[in-house]
Amino acid sequence: MMKKKYCISSYCHIRDNTISLNGKTIYTGQHSDLKSLTKSAYRHFDIDYPKFFKMDNLSRLGFLAAEILLTNEGVLPENEEDIAIVLSNRASSLDTDRKHWESIRDSHNYYPSPAIFVYTLPNICIGEISIRHKLYSENSFFIFDEFNPNHLFSYANGLLDTEKTRKVLCGWVDVDGPVYKAFLYLVGKEGPVLHSIEEITRLF
Amino acid sequence: MGKGIAITGMGIISAIGNNVEENYRSLVEGKKGISRIVKIDTVHKDALMVGEIDFTNQELEAYLGLDTNNNYSRSALLGAYAARQAVSDAKITDVNSSKTGLVSATTVGGMDKTEQYYYKYFEDKKVQKYIEGHHAGDSTQKIAEQLGIHNSLVTTISTACSSAANAILFGARLLKSGKLDRVIVGGTDGLSKFTLNGFKTLMIQSDTYNTPFDENRKGLNLGEAAAFLVLESDKSVQRENKEVLAYVKGWGNANDAFHQTASSEHGDGATLAMQKALKVGGLKGEEIDYINAHGTATPNNDLSEGRAFLRVFGNGVPDFSSTKGYTGHTLAAAGGVEAVFSVLALRHNVIFPNLNFKNPMKEFHLRPRAELKKRKLNTVLSNSLGFGGNCSTLIFSKEA
Amino acid sequence: MEALKEELKSKIIEQLNLEDVSVDEIADDDPLFGDGLGLDSIDALELIVMLDKDYGIKLADPKEGKKIFESVGTMADYIAQHKTK
């Protein structure tokens, strides 16, 4: 059987105070932390989704990258498009785990926050993207020591080959203290970049 | 065209037993593993009930032959213990004799040790070894070492309470696509203060025995467990003339796209996951003989999942029960634990009772199977529904 | 009472990260959940923590919150009657 070829139609990076879409910088700022970067980017792109401000850093980062990428692709929630989500990172939900831990460690000042606890799982980030864009397709979150293009490549191909989905939103969303990076890309039948391990590695 | 994904070995450790046989005995005898917290030093001792495993860390270390310098977290210990059982059950003597992978699920990883030593890390060099054991992937690496898996696919999945179900789903696909001949799949989560306190903030933990699908359910009991299955391709089964315990017949995953932790009112994600699994398995709803429900006994889950049953099966909802009354909710391990229970149900032709059920819910007429029932079973469906809206369904069958 | 209501409004905005809402936009009898401020179940739990932390009121059953958190007005009434700190 001939292996089908797929393409990357758009990709988005958020790193070092800079947001870029398909390699072009579309927003840059001077922010001391991820929270203020994502907030001002939210304003800059005129996003109307107040729940954004309740999200933790990991979800904000993934949400923002997905928002920019899917808006560019013309994906509308009302169409409930068939897009699967496969994300990965290194630090899991560690950034928020620490915050939850801080709130339970002192028995004299013990007021753990449910709003923080709900984000102590990395795949909540996928949930937030799914809720926003009404994506009911398959989704999974993997943890690796470092970016693993082989895994993402074969997982996305598997989903597309077996027609489990029409498109796959893939990538890396990682937050660990002050260090953060998001790289999302959309794989489907058409697009300017060939979906291959080399290209994914190059774009990352 | 291959026959299917064969299950050739199982291993489990949970609050109701330290191996497959003990778990089975507890299931048929209706013996629950829920009690007050003994092993964790917490102020919530009297307010919560949990499913704790009898073995201490020291006993597990001794079993695994670890020296005192080891830095295994409880999740790693439990995982290695259960995975080794599964491999020996599958009569694998050399794990590297064919392409064998490991897909392990966890959510808490080494959180227990971090809680214990967090303040000592700066001054006490002896405990610093546990820092490396904190991250989720570490427990998987340790299980791989314990099994002696080299140079193969070893990975960790973390999608909340559906994690182990997704590990099984991913393993099945790896075999189907020919990437591996054998894969050990499952999950492990030890109890930790992190999760006890976290679920407490969500106010969905019961202070007494959990009562799935009951009108007066008060919430879940957290539990700890590890459970692994050995999956093999047809080729591998034929080559080694293996006994097959059951088959993974169908699988499906979908997102509920509703809320970070709550399930949608009508169980959209669960409905989609079950429908996808039926499609992959080439099965009709009426061909499902028993459902091992996710049934956590939270007001929200059981209502949403029950409505999803009605959407998928209409008037013909099969016999169903939740086994969380025995083990508590074992989070990332739950999908693995319940896969083992589903296979046991098939092998012994028995439906395990939904413990502690008294009053049907007022929203619908569904009643779980509250008594043990002997019945010929050919297919069992198992649901695992996770925070983040991650919903997974697996279907197990006697025939490929 | 008025002071308590004002205090609650700013606390709600801060605690629940209602970035685009200001104190004078919340009327005393505006519904907090559903169509009003659009709060959800996690917000309700967060308000339960706030009752405990700031006013020494412990709710054992989240269902109790439903009536109490109907609006800023009902919250203020409840707090005025039950607060222990």
Q: Which of C42, C61, C62 sits opposite B260 (nearest CB)?
A: C42
What's domain A7-203's architecture? 3-Layer(aba) Sandwich (3.40)
Contact C62 B261 (CB under 8 A): no
Domain that holds residue B61: 5-240
Across the interface, which of A101, A126, A154 has its CB nearest the CB of B388? Answer: A126
Q: Going from the N-terminus, what domains does chain C have, and what CATH number goes with each? A: 2-82 (1.10.1200.10)
Q: Of the ranges A79-83, B54-58, B113-117, B164-168, which one carries the lowest mean pLDDT score?
A: B113-117
Known catalytic membership, residue B266: no
Q: Is B150 one of the annotated active-site residues of the chain?
A: no
Residues B143 and B263 in one domain: no
Q: In this structure, are B182 and B109 located in the same domain?
A: yes
Indicate whether B261 and B216 sit together in one domain.
Answer: no
- Condensed to tens digits (0 to 9), the pLDDT of residues B260-281 reads 999 999 999 999 999 999 999 9
Which among B240, B268, B297 is the end of a domain? B240
| CATH at B229 | 3.40.47.10
pLDDT tens column, B294-321: 999 999 999 999 999 999 999 999 999 9
Domain count along chain B: 2
Which residues, in sequence order, are CB contacts of A48 under 8 Å at separation 6+?
A: none
Task: Indicate whether B86 and B202 sit together in one domain.
Answer: yes
The single residue of B44, B134, B259, B329 carrying the catalytic annotation is B329
Same domain, B325 and B200: no
Q: Which residues of B386-395 are buried (b: 16+ CB within 10 A; e: fewer)?
A: bbbbbbbbbb
Res. A10 pLDDT band, cuts 50 70 90: very high
DSSP state of C24: G
ipTM of the complex: 0.88
Q: Which residues are CB-contacts of B226 (< 8 A; sequence separation ≥ 6)?
A: B11, B12, B13, B14, B75, B78, B79, B81, B82, B83, B186, B187, B188, B189, B333, B336
What phi and psi values does residue B180 have, to the nearest 5 degrees? -135, 160
Query: B137 versus B384: which is more confidently predicted?
Result: B384
- Would you call B135 a catalytic residue per the annotation? no
Would you say residue B1 has pLDDT above 50?
A: no
Q: Is the pLDDT of residue A165 over 60?
A: yes
Q: Could you say which of B170, B173, B254 has the minimum Cβ distance to residue A136?
A: B254
Q: Which residues of B touch A143 (CB under 8 A)?
A: 135-137, 156-158
Same domain, B147 and B184: yes
Give the per-residue pLDDT at B3. 65
CA distance A173 to chain B (A): 14
Query: Catalytic one among B135, B150, B161, B348?
Result: B161
Average pLDDT over residues B286-300: 98
Q: How many angstroms separate the CA atoms of B143 and B124, rounded?
A: 27
Residue ending a domain, choose from B189, B214, B240: B240
- The reply to whether residue B203 touches residue C45, judged by beta carbons under 8 angstroms, is yes
pLDDT digits (tens, 9 = 90+) for A34-49: 999 999 999 999 999 9
Rounded CA-CA distance B74/B81 in Å is 10
- With residues binned 3-state (H G I as helix, E B as strand, rest as coil), the percentages for chain B, rounded to 5, are 40, 20, 40
Chain A interface disruption, residue of C19, C20, C37, C40, most A CBs within 10 A:
C19
Task: Answer whether residue A2 shows pLDDT above 60.
Answer: no
Are B58 and B152 in a shared domain? yes
Phi, psi (deg, nearest 5) at residue B43: -70, -15
Q: Is the pLDDT of residue C50 over 50?
A: yes
Interface with chain B: mutation pick from A3, A70, A130, A154, highest number of B CBs within 10 Å: A130
User: Rounded to a whole number, what is the largest CA-CA distance in chain B?
Assistant: 64
Q: Read off the pTM.
A: 0.91
Residue B45 included in any domain: yes
Q: Are residues B222 and B281 in the same domain?
A: no
Note whether B80 and B37 are same-domain residues. yes
Q: Cβ contacts of residue A55 below 8 Å, gap of 6+?
A: A63, A119, A128
Evaluate if residue B143 carries a pLDDT over 90.
yes
Instruction: Work out how many CB contacts closer than 8 A connect A with C.
Output: 28
B219 falls within a domain: yes
Q: Look at residue B2 and tell me whether its pLDDT is greater than 70.
A: no
Q: Kindly state whether residue B245 falls inside one of the protein's structural domains.
A: no
User: From the candidates B259, B266, B294, B348, which is the catalytic residue?
Assistant: B294
Mutation target among C42, C46, C50, C58 for the A interface, most CBs of A within 10 A: C42
Across chain B, mean pLDDT equals 95
Structure tokens at A182: 């998001």
In this predicted model, what pLDDT tens digit does every residue of B25-83 receive, in sequence order?
Answer: 999 999 999 999 988 888 888 889 999 999 999 999 999 999 999 999 999 999 999 99
> Domain end: B186, B217, B240, which one?
B240
User: Three-state SS for B253?
Assistant: strand
Nearest-neighbour CA in chain C from A116: distance (Å): 10
Q: Which residue in B has a C-alpha nearest to residue C61's C-alpha?
A: B203
pLDDT in tens, C12-35: 999 999 988 999 999 999 999 987
Residue A153 in this model has a pLDDT that exceeds 60: yes
Taking the CA atoms of residue B182, residue A92, residue B261 and residue A45 in that order, the dihedral angle to the nearest 10 degrees is -120
Cβ of B260 within 8 Å of Cβ of C49? The answer is: no
Residue B96 CB neighbour total at 10 angstroms: 13
Whether the pLDDT of residue B109 is over 80: the answer is yes
Tell me which chains share at least 3 CB pairs under 8 Å with chain C: A, B
Residue C1: burial class (beta carbons within 10 Å; 0-12, 13-18, 19+): exposed
